[in-house]
């Protein structure tokens, strides 16, 4: 089961989590992990996975609507609030191939998480462990041992993002 499940998840990424039900006819509230509205509004077939209970199911999406803080999703075969209750806590996965290609200077968080960050002279600053969205720009949280460094993801500091090599080269900054 574990190897089968890891095969299912291999080419997929979580785009949100079912956090509650909505109404009595089987709709659920999906809390998004992405700000890509087109991905969320164009869902067709998804993998639902509950890590705690080790349960998964492939589900066809009937309808998606934008709510105030969540998306309201209706799946085929989920016709009552009782059916929808069973899906609370499930993460929603889509195939990576279904994501729109990022523009030249854009990236998905999954492409940056875990990347090694190095200075132009080759000195390693550590690996990206988190990304903070500030509104103006993203900030990488880079850890090496117990040291944590925050690096703004802007051209002034980032020399190169090599997605293939999983390496980000940055300029030396005053605070490093």
Statement to judge: residues 78 and 114 lie in one domain: no
Round to whole Å and give the CA distance between 37 and 71: 10
Do 79 and 125 fall within a single domain? no
Alpha helix locations (H) across 24-125?
A: 37-41, 81-85, 109-112
Look up the CATH number of the domain holding residue 75: 2.40.30.60
pLDDT band with cut points at 50, 70 and 90 for residue 71: very high
Q: What is the pLDDT of residue 1?
A: 46
Pairwise CA distance, residues 152 & 81, whole Å: 44
Q: Residue 176 falls within a domain, yes or no?
A: no
Query: Is the pLDDT reported for residue 3 higher than 60?
Result: no
Whether 138 is covered by a domain: the verdict is: yes
- pLDDT > 60? residue 2: no
The winner for highest mean pLDDT among 8-12, 35-39, 72-76, 111-115 is 72-76
Residue 153 lies in a domain: yes
Domain co-membership, 52 together with 133: no
Domain housing 162: 109-170
Cα gap 23→21, rounded to integer Å: 7
Same domain, 75 and 147: no
Whether residue 103 is contained in a domain is answered as: no
Report how many domains make up the chain: 2
Task: Please state the pTM of the whole predicted model.
Answer: 0.73
What mean pLDDT is reported for the chain?
Answer: 90
Helices (H), the chain: 2-10, 37-41, 81-85, 109-112
pLDDT band at 176 (very low <50, low <70, confident <90, very high): low
Residues 163 and 123 in one domain: yes
Q: Which domain-ending residue is among 68, 98, 128? A: 98
92 lies in the same domain as 113: no
Q: Are residues 122 and 153 in the same domain?
A: yes
Alpha helices (runs of H) in 22-88, residue ranges in sequence order: 37-41, 81-85
Nearest to 52 by CA among 11, 82, 98, 17: 17
Whether the pLDDT of residue 111 is over 60: the answer is yes
């Amino acid at each position: 089961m574990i190897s089968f499940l890891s095969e299912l998840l291999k080419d997929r990424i979580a785009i949100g989590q079912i956090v509650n039900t909505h109404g009595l006819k089987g709709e659920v509230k999906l809390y998004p992990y992405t700000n890509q509205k087109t991905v969320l509004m164009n869902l067709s077939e998804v993998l639902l996975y509950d890590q705690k209970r080790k349960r998964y199911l492939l589900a066809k999406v009937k309808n998606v609507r934008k709510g105030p803080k969540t998306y309201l999703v209706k799946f085929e075969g989920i016709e009552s609030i009782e059916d929808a209750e069973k899906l609370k806590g499930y993460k929603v996965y889509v195939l990576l191939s279904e994501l729109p290609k990022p523009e030249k200077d854009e990236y998905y968080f999954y492409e940056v998480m875990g990347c090694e960050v190095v200075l132009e002279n080759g000195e390693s600053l550590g690996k990206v462990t988190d990304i903070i969205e500030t509104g103006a720009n993203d900030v990488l949280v880079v850890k090496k041992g117990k040291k944590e460094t925050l690096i703004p993801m802007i051209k002034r500091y980032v020399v190169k993002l090599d997605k293939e090599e999983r390496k980000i080269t940055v300029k030396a900054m005053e605070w490093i």
